[in-house]
Chain A
């Protein structure tokens, strides 16, 4: 029996790849397996090759697998493009309709199942997904009842007849492939899962769920890949809580509307990707200057410009930290798992109101869209901290304006919202005095700039970094962020097996940078590898700027649009280690490792 397996489905965009994956993996999740999904898609709606890959494991595995056991193909292109990933005795389940052929040199076993024919016989080719997923399920020898239950839930609303038809499609697919294979394949027999209940979701769902839990009741946004799922989730859920999603005319409207709604006292968010964030920059400055809380999600994708809109990248770091003109206090958080997408969204709303600053939550495409198993989310950990929001404001004898920007030791001033009696004050992006009235006096300028910037001096963020540091003096300290953590974990296990000692840090607070927290680990390491999906080493530069250690830091970059794979990372780390061991460079300069 095996403890993990990987499965992929490929076809033309719009022909059921997504739904086949959804049903197959939902059923696996029910059995308690840990799943990690990767979507390969392009920015076309119909047509164009697309594939979804999932790793199925009995233990947590948060990385794409290097190879592939089963490939389900709706067309020959899917075989030609993906067969090279198959392991030695991998299996291809292909639609007999296109006379599938195994590419030359491949040792894969082919099962040609009349997927389309069976579906059409049952009434519609739409049921291809059922036939295909039924065949996959049968090869693994898993109990059909669990699968049928997932089908019932998927189609229950459409009535019993539809459910029965789909179950029949599953049965026929299973039956056909078992006959070809002579029964379930022994080599794909998975150990039973731990049976613990898990959630199965994408990071964007977790962000949407976190927003509702945090009390967010309005979202203003403009559609963009890979952020749109957040608004699509909230448009379904917010009406149940009296709120709404408003699709604006552009991202400038999205952010300014969110600023207006937060100013008026309702937790409101917006979400976008690089192009939208670029448009929002002036308004983020307004939020900083007027000390208006606002939460902005940036689901990073390949840039610059339209770049690689459906591909993985982590290249907005500079823009998020430095992107608005002038100087404002601002928080940039980078969750590194589905669970953190949920908890950090709640935290983002709390930090925004506590410090009265814009908070950016930066994910990356793989974290936002890769469907994964995650631990059950804990209701008791949801807290709402509205900071210095003031309920009762005493009447002032002199009829003066409320000091919304009162100078305080922490820099944080009492906040009121429109509608409150005795709270009238002015709000402006122009430099202003304690009541918000415009003021250009140098003394006032110094006072107010210092007040705003000092708010983050003592910022408290849950786990600004994650540390796995089993070694006092590691050979390599690997630093990453976002979705790369699971890949790093796996590569570290391989390095460990070679006797190479590694520690691992995930940076979760990008700004203000947690220099104090991270410094001791940098000090201990013989060499530091900073791994990121961009071409210029933005995270590494941030560390160099805030902490130092330039002379023992190596950039490990990947910007071809695909995430790091564990074996690739292992090989690259090994190379870094060996270079360090063998040749001490005369000038101490370290090689930059470009893209493989």
Chain B
């Protein structure tokens, strides 16, 4: 069985020292080993951004695609080979701005993949513009007078869109983050994990210390029931979204793959693509 070390490659990340994304990388590597995967059984599909580079830093199959499109690519991979463990990942701009449409529809569709957002409330790669996750009044290069749009609440949105697994974590809490990714992988459906992953270079407001002060950790609330959707929504609203842990999980709903009529139980990628002469004749008959 592979250990987390086998999920390391010798590529040196080009992230700034202290960037929250390092922990996300480590957590994915640990979680993959903990759930018993071999490197070739994992595919990490990422978007464009500082965070998007993550697929190149993990020893697994990886595809670094185009800005905002990690989710549809990842869903395509999963439909082609349902035996693979597929992780999609990227930044808050990637998933909640340019890729927002895909995020909502991936949630509704509930294909069995895990989506990890490295949320730093800013555009890192393009050097510090506002993101849909930036708070009102937040000053960036593109909002020198402070952002005048309200910040998006992705997890509330996820809950109202029929999400079956909603979690949030923080780069400083490697243990919780790793555990949540493991649970996300095991969850039979779409799992969304938003990670507060500070950008130490361009976001001087939402820093490690700021999160430590403001976060409510569900692991410290013993009677919290993650199967209660209303409670999940209330808790998110109460904390202004600054809530970590497993927020909601619906174990009843079947994944998309399990609901598609006639969909093959074994990976389509392993199927012989040829059709027989009889099958061909049957197909042609309706045009005679």
Q: Which residues of A contact B (CB under 8 A)?
A: 29-30, 197-201, 205, 209, 212-215, 217-218, 220, 237-244, 246, 248-250, 252-254, 256-268, 282-283, 286, 290, 376-377, 379, 382, 384, 386, 401, 417-430, 437-438
**Shortest distance between the CB of B71 and any CB in chain A (Å):** 8
- Contacts of B71 on A, CB cut-off 8 Å? 253
Report the bound CA distance from A220 to B287 in whole Å: 25
Report the bound CA distance from A94 to B263 in whole Å: 48
**Shortest distance between the CB of B54 and any CB in chain A (Å):** 11
- Contact A261 to B79, CB < 8 A, known contacts A199-B284, A419-B84, A429-B66: yes
Chain B residue with Cβ nearest A240: B262
- Contacts of A258 on B, CB cut-off 8 Å? 76
Chain A residue with Cβ nearest B264: A242
Q: Which residues of B contact A (CB under 8 A)?
A: 9, 11, 38-41, 43, 45, 48, 55-56, 59-66, 69, 71-81, 83-84, 101-102, 104-105, 260-264, 267-269, 271, 273-275, 277, 279-281, 283-284, 287-288
Report the bound CA distance from A206 to B192 in whole Å: 40
Cβ contact of A242, chosen from B40, B48, B271, cutoff 8 A: B271
Most chain A beta carbons < 10 A, residue from B61, B62, B78, B262: B61
Report the bound CA distance from A198 to B55 in whole Å: 52
> Cβ of A257 and Cβ of B275 under 8 Å apart?
no
Q: Beyond the given A212-B283, A382-B280, A384-B274, please list 20 additional residue pairs across the A-B interface where CB-CB is below 8 A.
A: A30-B288, A218-B76, A218-B79, A218-B268, A240-B262, A244-B79, A244-B260, A253-B101, A253-B102, A259-B65, A261-B80, A263-B63, A264-B81, A266-B80, A376-B284, A417-B81, A418-B61, A421-B40, A428-B63, A437-B11
**Shortest distance between the CB of B265 and any CB in chain A (Å):** 8
> Cβ of A265 and Cβ of B66 under 8 Å apart?
no
- Contacts of A215 on B, CB cut-off 8 Å? 273-275
5 closest A-B pairs (Cβ-Cβ)?
A215-B273, A260-B76, A239-B262, A242-B264, A264-B80
> Cβ of B60 and Cβ of A256 under 8 Å apart?
no
- Contacts of A377 on B, CB cut-off 8 Å? 284
Report the bound CA distance from A259 to B69 in whole Å: 11
Q: What are 17 residue pairs bridging A and B, where the CB atoms are less than 8 Å apart in the complex?
A: A199-B287, A209-B284, A217-B273, A239-B260, A240-B262, A241-B279, A244-B260, A249-B104, A256-B65, A259-B65, A261-B80, A266-B81, A417-B269, A419-B61, A419-B267, A428-B55, A428-B63
Chain A residue with Cβ nearest B61: A418
**Shortest distance between the CB of A507 and any CB in chain B (Å):** 27
- Contacts of B65 on A, CB cut-off 8 Å? 256, 259, 286, 429
Report the bound CA distance from A282 to B73 in whole Å: 13
Cβ contact of B288, chosen from A199, A205, A290, A418, cutoff 8 A: A199
Report the bound CA distance from A238 to B261 in whole Å: 10
- Contacts of B288 on A, CB cut-off 8 Å? 29-30, 197-200
- Contacts of A401 on B, CB cut-off 8 Å? 9
> Cβ of B69 and Cβ of A241 under 8 Å apart?
no
> Cβ of B55 and Cβ of A426 under 8 Å apart?
yes
> Cβ of A418 and Cβ of B81 under 8 Å apart?
yes
**Shortest distance between the CB of A279 and any CB in chain B (Å):** 11
> Cβ of B63 and Cβ of A290 under 8 Å apart?
yes
- Contacts of B101 on A, CB cut-off 8 Å? 249-250, 253
Report the bound CA distance from A266 to B263 in whole Å: 14
> Cβ of A214 and Cβ of B273 under 8 Å apart?
yes
Chain B residue with Cβ nearest A241: B275
- Contact A248 to B63, CB < 8 A, known contacts A263-B77, A419-B40, A420-B40: no
- Contacts of B39 on A, CB cut-off 8 Å? 424
Report the bound CA distance from A213 to B277 in whole Å: 10
**Shortest distance between the CB of A101 and any CB in chain B (Å):** 39
Report the bound CA distance from A419 to B40 in whole Å: 5
Chain A residue with Cβ nearest B105: A249
> Cβ of A205 and Cβ of B287 under 8 Å apart?
yes
> Cβ of B69 and Cβ of A283 under 8 Å apart?
yes
**Shortest distance between the CB of A280 and any CB in chain B (Å):** 11
- Contacts of A438 on B, CB cut-off 8 Å? 56
> Cβ of A419 and Cβ of B263 under 8 Å apart?
no
Report the bound CA distance from A29 to B259 in whole Å: 39
**Shortest distance between the CB of A249 and any CB in chain B (Å):** 4
> Cβ of B280 and Cβ of A248 under 8 Å apart?
no
Report the bound CA distance from A289 to B150 in whole Å: 37
Cβ contact of A418, chosen from B56, B84, B287, cutoff 8 A: B84
Report the bound CA distance from A483 to B281 in whole Å: 27
**Shortest distance between the CB of B2 and any CB in chain A (Å):** 12
Report the bound CA distance from A417 to B11 in whole Å: 21
> Cβ of B76 and Cβ of A265 under 8 Å apart?
no
**Shortest distance between the CB of A520 and any CB in chain B (Å):** 38
**Shortest distance between the CB of A573 and any CB in chain B (Å):** 34
**Shortest distance between the CB of B273 and any CB in chain A (Å):** 2
Report the bound CA distance from A264 to B71 in whole Å: 14
> Cβ of A426 and Cβ of B268 under 8 Å apart?
no
> Cβ of A418 and Cβ of B262 under 8 Å apart?
no
Most chain A beta carbons < 10 A, residue from B11, B69, B84: B69
> Cβ of A419 and Cβ of B81 under 8 Å apart?
yes
> Cβ of A256 and Cβ of B268 under 8 Å apart?
no
Chain A residue with Cβ nearest B260: A244
- Contacts of A243 on B, CB cut-off 8 Å? 262-264, 268
- Contact A426 to B80, CB < 8 A, known contacts A217-B271, A379-B277: no
- Contacts of A239 on B, CB cut-off 8 Å? 260-263
- Contacts of B277 on A, CB cut-off 8 Å? 379
- Contact A265 to B269, CB < 8 A, known contacts A220-B76, A244-B263: yes
